[in-house]
């Protein structure tokens, strides 16, 4: 199970009031469904970041980027090629 270490940044700097946090809590790296307890722990960790407000949290399947080295993950380019 991923430890979601990066969540500490969202907790430290707070999700703005007009924004929501989307977090992939289901692994896409396996065809097997993960145990409910594992998925629940991930949800609870994310819920803690948004101070327990489920309306600030969007739960999605994982995007698969966690298995890629950071050197392969480039920032999105802005419209107009910037």
Q: pLDDT tens across 49-66, in order?
A: 888 999 999 888 776 666
pTM: 0.65
pLDDT tens for each residue of 21-50 = 888 888 777 778 789 998 898 899 889 988
Sign of CA dihedral 49, 54, 57, 62: positive
Hey, is 40 helix, strand or coil?
Answer: helix
């Amino acid at each position: 199970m991923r430890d979601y270490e990066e969540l500490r940044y969202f907790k430290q700097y707070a999700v703005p009031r007009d924004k929501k946090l989307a977090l992939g809590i289901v692994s896409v790296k396996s065809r097997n469904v993960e145990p409910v307890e594992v998925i629940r722990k991930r949800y609870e960790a994310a819920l803690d970041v948004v101070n327990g407000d489920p309306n600030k949290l969007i739960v999605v399947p994982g995007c698969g980027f966690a298995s890629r080295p950071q050197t392969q993950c480039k920032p999105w380019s802005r419209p107009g090629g910037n």
